[in-house]
Amino acid sequence: MGQTKALTLEPRQEQSVMKITAAEIGEEQNVIHLEGDMGAYGKVYSTLIFKFNADRSGGTYTAQGRGFVDENTMLGGAGAGVWKREGSKAYLEEVVNINDGTQNLHRAVMDMMNKTLVLDAYILR
């Protein structure tokens, strides 16, 4: 079996701040809708679906996003990751595949009190 290269992460773009526009609270999952400007991906709309672990302090999630770079260019992305809640904030980490062939590692802090998600995107591919 071959060896893998060391992982070095470089930012894809500047840090982004997205606004939480809606929250659907459920017994089995929560759904959060977001929008914001994300540098390389333009105006982005995203939906996150959160599943809970046994004590509901974290779990897994999936994401779908669409970015409108200009009036003729739309990018689509899908991601999956893990989350952990501490008080009113959730800490998220996900791997995202974008239809332009790029892949990112996203690390974010979702602040339900301020209705924001602050996201750092790092280049995987």
Q: Per residue in 85-106, pLDDT tens?
A: 999 999 999 999 999 999 999 9
Tally of domains within the chain? 1
Q: Domain of 40?
A: 16-123
Q: Per residue in 38-73, pLDDT tens?
A: 998 999 999 999 999 999 999 999 999 999 999 999
Query: Would residue 114 count as lying in a domain?
Result: yes
Query: Would residue 64 count as lying in a domain?
Result: yes
Query: Would residue 34 count as lying in a domain?
Result: yes
pTM (2 d.p.)? 0.92
CB burial of residue 113 (10 Å; 0-12, 13-18, 19+):
exposed
Residue 107 near residue 119 (C-beta atoms within 8 A): yes
Residues in CB range of 53: below 8 A, 6 or more apart: 59
Query: Would residue 95 count as lying in a domain?
Result: yes
Question: Where does the chain have alpha helices with state H?
Answer: none
DSSP designation for 5: P
Query: Would residue 5 count as lying in a domain?
Result: no
Residue 2 has pLDDT above 80, yes or no: no
Query: Would residue 61 count as lying in a domain?
Result: yes
> How confident is the model at residue 8, as a pLDDT?
87
